[in-house]
Structures are given as C-alpha cells and as structure tokens.
Structure 1
Amino acid sequence: MRLNGAPTRDPDASPTGADLIVHDDELGKIGHFAYRLHNNLKADGKQAQTTTKAAGTSLTSDGLEMGKALTSASRAWAEQVGTLVDACAHISNHLDYTKASKKKDDEWVGAQVGAM
C-alpha cells in the first residue's frame, strides 16, 4: 500500500461502476410535505384566532375568569403555530439546500475521480 500517491490506472479504462449513489426521492417527498404543511398551517393555523380572542375579551369584560384563560390559550396557540410554521419552512429549505449541495459535491467528486 502506498501512502504518498495513488496507483496508476489506464486512462482509457472505463470505471467499473459507481460506488457512490444518492437517491434523493425520499428527501424530496419529505421536503414537499414540509412545504405543504407550512402553507396549510400558515393559511389555516390561525383560523379561529380572531373569534377566540373576541370571545376571551367579551368573557373577561363580563367578569368571567374563563375569558383570561381563553385569551391566554389563544395567544399560546398562535405562538405554537408560528413556531411550527417556521420549523416546516426550515425543514423544506434545508432539504432543498442539501439536495442542491449534494448534487454539486457529487459532480465535483466525479470530476476529480474522472481526472485521475
């Protein structure tokens, strides 16, 4: 085994087969689901917020403690939906970046191996 170089290879010989194969169809599906979930949550996740907040305000003005709890729950719900929307966007964007980056890396490795 040589540590200071690579064994010589016939430049006309074709590669015997790829040893690095990436199937990104699963990543694509996950990214697509994250994107759809992001859009759906953004559109529908706060659907009841206005009426819930109004009900909480009305109950509070009538002197009922439940109004404060309802307003607090509405605020917490909106915060959690926002966090989930952000997480879905992060997943989708990260997978898009990873897919593009991996493709560039594979092309670079292929060019380097082909140049040997």
Structure 2
Amino acid sequence: MAWEEWERAKAQVADQPATRMQLNQYPADQGGDGTQGDLVASQKDLQAVGTAAHDLFEDFTTYSGHARVASEAAAGGLKGEGFALGGALEHVTERWSEQTRTLLDACAHISNHLRFTKNQHAADDSYIAGAVSSIATLDEGFDDRKGH
C-alpha cells in the first residue's frame, strides 16, 4: 500500500461517525419463569446422574467381567489349537479390559465428584449462613447504638 492510499484510508475512516460497541444478548422478553437460558441443575437431577453413573459402574463391572472371562477362555482355546485367531482374540480381550477400566474409572469419578460437590455446597451454605447471621448480629449492635 502506497503512502497516499494509507492517508486516504485514514481520512475515510475519520469522516465516518464514531463506532459504538454493542453487546449481543439474549432477548429479555421470552415468557416463562424468566430462567430460560440459565443453567439450572436441581439436587434431583444431580442425584439421577450420580445414580446412573453408580448403576453403570456396578452393572458394567459384572457384565464386562463375564465377557472378559469368556473371551480369554476362547482365545486360550484357539491359541492352544494353533489358530492365529486366538492371538487376535487375546489382543482384543486385553484392549477390552483397558477400555473397561477407563469407563469404570470415569463412572466412579462422576459419582465421587457429585458426592463431593453436594458435601462442599452444604459446607458453603453453612458457612454463608454463619457469616450472614454474624452480619445481622453486628447490624443489631449498630441499631442499638443509634437508639432504635
């Protein structure tokens, strides 16, 4: 870009009205209870997720164990008879076990995290209630000094 082009571009921009910032937002009037668009998770919802994760953990532990044992037996039998498929099935069984542990760890993590979160929120609520009641007591002291 030549110097003259740069000067012309600056002059064009300077002649335009000032640009104002506009923030996009969710339209205010959407009806309903006013919570549309807000993330809301009730204790009932969180409990359902935690229960589902725990149930999946329990059931999958049982059923994946049956599949692993049967697959290991089949792989051993095929390998013992000299079939190459036995080695392949053994490899699949090892991968199955690894993936099973990953899924079970994730389920346990979800369940444990939700339990921790519930306990932490209860502790936070207790702390906040104590702090607010202390402020109320302090306010009463100031009201007494004013003669109210």
TM-score (norm 2): 0.59
Match of 1:80 among 95, 99, 110: 99
- Where in structure 2 are the equivalents of 1:69-108 lying within 5 Å? 69-108=88-127
Q: List gaps (5 residues or longer) in structure 2.
A: 1-40, 136-148
Count of residues in correspondence between the two structures:
95
Match of 2:46 among 27, 38, 59: 27
Deviations 1:47-99 (A, max 9, x none): 12222112112212222211111011011111211221121111101100110
Q: Distance in 2 between matches of 1:49 and 1:30?
A: 27
Q: Distance in 2 between matches of 1:66 and 1:23?
A: 51
Q: Which amino acid aligns with 2:132?
A: V
Give the superposed CA RMSD. 1.5
Q: Which amino acid aligns with 1:79?
A: E
How high is the sequence identity, in percent, across the aligned residues?
Answer: 34
TM-score (norm 1): 0.74
- Indicate the structure (1 or 2) with the bigger Cα radius of gyration: 2
The aligned residue for residue 48 of structure 1 is 67
Q: List gaps (5 residues or longer) in structure 1.
A: 1-21
**Structure 1 outlier segments of 4+, above 6 Å:** none
The aligned residue for residue 131 of structure 2 is 112
Taking CA–CA contacts closer than 8 Å with sequence separation of 6 or more, which of the two structures ends up with the larger relative contact order? 1
Q: Which amino acid aligns with 1:101?
A: Q
Alpha-carbon contact 1:60-1:66 (below 8 Å) kept: yes
